[in-house]
Structure 1
Amino acid sequence: MTELRFDGRIAVITGGGRGLGRAYALLLAAKGCKVVVNDLGAPIKGDAADTSVAQQLVDEIKAAGGEAVADTNSVATPDGAQAIVQSAIDTYGKIDILIHNAGNVRYGTIRELSYDDFQSVVDVHLMGAFHLVKATHPLMCDAGYGRIVLTSSIGGIYGNNRCVNYGISKSGMIGLNNIAALEGEEFDVKSNIIVPNAVTRMADGLDTSLYPPLGPELVAPAVAWMCHEDCSISGEMITAGGGRIARCFIAETKGVYRPSWTVDEVDAAMGAIHDKQEVLDFGLHGHVGHLTHSFAMARSGER
């Protein structure tokens, strides 16, 4: 079996100095990738900085025989994201891989969360992703190659208490990923999402004593595969953690058709509407699949 390597590839990894980002950077560098390690070195709330964090990992990668450069710009602004991408261009001449992993956490219920805490998390996770994709995607399309990995969360797919800012950001990542995949399809630019399960600084304050091993190194191989030229998927979500790798996806039930509805008829049909015996997975071109299925039921009069 031929080893999947990244010789000649250039990767930008945000939040790359610690936790999951560090595991991604170390694995890619060990397999020949040149890495731009972007990290502000901020605490978990994202309200300070330690510019030595990124450089420490760069030094470690170089000591192991790899190639890397540090970057400490913020993903939270368009200018910061552009500067991160420019670091790759200035140092290595191109960008092949973008992994947006940078994140912060500020907890609070919908009732109590301040607008500042809401905006801070959305700016780093979701707006940071958009700023980076905006700066990177056109370059990849022009070059005829690219791999993008965005970071969502089970908190974005299923929700979680006291994390509305985080949940909105991670849900929004799904829409951004789908569009980046669709617009990159003809250029061999693939975009996918990692939904990681790992114990990092994000878990500070939680009781993890009964958890199985959830090290970042158990997530990194799935991310690296999504970054490789052999990656066969785009517009998808892969969850990884604790030794389990699985696909997450948005699906629909078959549904129920009537030429017209009353409120009472909706109530009576809700059991059939929820029937999961036939689950429809439309995939990357789901907007077409959804409409095709819906229109077909209307034309046939199928109930």
Structure 2
Amino acid sequence: MDKITFEDRVAVVTGAGNGLGRDYALELARRGAKVVVNDLGGSGSGEGASASAAQAVVEEIRAAGGEAVANTNSVATREGGAAVIQTALDTWGKIDILISNAGFLRNNRFEDLTDEQIDPIINVHLKAAFYVGQPAYRAMRAAGYGRILFTGSASAMFGHAWQANYAAGKGAMLGLSNVVALEGSAYGIQSNVMLPTASSRLEAEMTPGFMEIPQFAKSFEKADFSIAEGRVVPEFNTPLALYLVSEACTATHGVYSSNCGRYARVRICAAEGWVSPAGDVPPTLEDIASHFGQIEELGDYSEPMTPYDEFTSAVKAARKQGVLA
């Protein structure tokens, strides 16, 4: 296979001053991309600001012969998000790639989460994806090409105790990306979600308090981490992230997991389920209860691309179960 390059491409990476974002930016630049390195320079809990993080990455890229500019606007405001994308347009006249990666943690029990722990998390993960994504999308639509990667989390797709706020923000990436992928398909724009796994400074915001949940503690204690040594680092996530935003990638409307060097598509699908008897009379609560095992069983399943695809799946199941001829 020919080497994948990003020559003549302009990329914006948010939260690129440290961790995953930093490595994405460095590798994009190594492969020829011009990169806007965005980072507010705050702590792992979103406190404070500093230009040093973004500028340090830019200097590293330039020292290696690449092209990059720093941007320190907050992606958690509409004005800040627009300014991030405008930096790319003002500097290079276009944007081809957006990796929406900025974020931080503020952990607590679900019942104890305050507005100060909920609102900033939703702002920096979900609203920021709109604030940066919308102006990027407009420019990509005008150009007829674009690649967008939203950073999700296994904490959202599978659940993580004490992270209801974070999971809510990250879980929303799925719905957002699916709609962007569908609308963008008319204009050469692809969109996907990635669930990275890496040790980072955000770990300092995680306390062992979540181990108070027996089921969660049992899962953690029984987990087999034998593949993890030396592999829970940003560098193991970067190849998948960059492939998903490359011209070589034709996949869109997907969710992909990166965990210790295992890369896999994560699917939201609909089981065949149970189809109620023909006619316009809804089933009773007891009907649902008596067929709940069949409703839960995965068996044959479909993967709807749109809500309307699910109608077709329902008809197929009804015919299979003899409800429709």
Q: TM-score, normalised by structure 1?
A: 0.95
SS at 1:140 equivalent: helix
- What's the counterpart of residue 256 of structure 1? 274
Q: Does 1:237 align with 2:259?
A: no
Gap runs ≥5 in structure 1: none
Query: Bigger shift: 214-223 or 251-260?
Result: 251-260
Q: What are the superposed Cα offsets for residues 129-175 of structure 1, whole Å, 9 maximum, x if unpaired? A: 01111111121111100000000001111221111110100111111
The code of the aligned residue for 2:244 comes to M
> What's the Cα RMSD here?
1.8
Q: Does 1:287 align with 2:307?
A: yes
- What's the counterpart of residue 182 of structure 1? 182
SS at 2:194 equivalent: strand
SS at 1:76 equivalent: coil
The code of the aligned residue for 1:8 comes to D
Deviation for aligned residue 1:298: 5.0
Query: Bigger shift: 286-295 or 239-248?
Result: 286-295
Cα distance in 2, alignment partners of residues 57 and 46 from structure 1: 19
Cα distance in 2, alignment partners of residues 173 and 69 from structure 1: 27
Deviation for aligned residue 1:263: 1.4
Query: Bigger shift: 102-111 or 256-265?
Result: 256-265
Q: Does 1:47 align with 2:43?
A: no
Cα distance in 1, alignment partners of residues 132 and 315 from structure 2: 37
Cα distance in 1, alignment partners of residues 191 and 141 from structure 2: 12
Cα distance in 2, alignment partners of residues 302 and 206 from structure 1: 54
- What's the counterpart of residue 299 of structure 2? 277
Q: TM-score, normalised by structure 2?
A: 0.89
Q: Does 1:130 align with 2:148?
A: no
The code of the aligned residue for 2:261 comes to G
Cα distance in 1, alignment partners of residues 207 and 116 from structure 2: 24
Q: What are the superposed Cα offsets for residues 244-271 of structure 1, whole Å, 9 maximum, x if unpaired? A: 1000110111011113311111111011
- What's the counterpart of residue 8 of structure 1? 8
Deviation for aligned residue 1:277: 2.0
- What's the counterpart of residue 166 of structure 1? 166
Cα distance in 2, alignment partners of residues 302 and 48 from structure 1: 62
Cα distance in 2, alignment partners of residues 254 and 298 from structure 1: 9
SS at 2:13 equivalent: strand
Cα distance in 2, alignment partners of residues 171 and 241 from structure 1: 18
Cα distance in 2, alignment partners of residues 289 and 206 from structure 1: 43
Cα distance in 2, alignment partners of residues 77 and 199 from structure 1: 27
CA contact (8 A) 1:257 1:302 kept: no
The code of the aligned residue for 2:3 comes to E
SS at 1:111 equivalent: helix
Cα distance in 2, alignment partners of residues 130 and 41 from structure 1: 20
Cα distance in 2, alignment partners of residues 28 and 241 from structure 1: 21
CA contact (8 A) 1:9 1:33 kept: yes
CA contact (8 A) 2:273 2:298 kept: no
Deviation for aligned residue 1:46: 0.6
- What's the counterpart of residue 98 of structure 2? 98
Deviation for aligned residue 1:119: 0.1
CA contact (8 A) 1:73 1:80 kept: yes
- What's the counterpart of residue 267 of structure 1? 289
SS at 1:167 equivalent: helix
CA contact (8 A) 2:315 2:324 kept: no
SS at 1:192 equivalent: strand
Cα distance in 1, alignment partners of residues 158 and 42 from structure 2: 27
- What's the counterpart of residue 215 of structure 2? none
The code of the aligned residue for 2:257 comes to T
Gap runs ≥5 in structure 2: 209-219
CA contact (8 A) 2:194 2:258 kept: yes
SS at 1:99 equivalent: strand
CA contact (8 A) 1:147 1:228 kept: yes
Query: Bigger shift: 68-77 or 223-232?
Result: 223-232
SS at 2:306 equivalent: helix
Q: How many residues align?
A: 301
Cα distance in 1, alignment partners of residues 108 and 187 from structure 2: 41
The code of the aligned residue for 2:306 comes to G
Q: What are the superposed Cα offsets for residues 96-131 of structure 1, whole Å, 9 maximum, x if unpaired? A: 000000001001122111112100100000000011
User: Pairwise mapping of residues 36-115 of structure 1 onto structure 2 (< 5 A)?
Assistant: 36-115=36-115
Cα distance in 1, alignment partners of residues 133 and 198 from structure 2: 25
Cα distance in 2, alignment partners of residues 294 and 191 from structure 1: 27
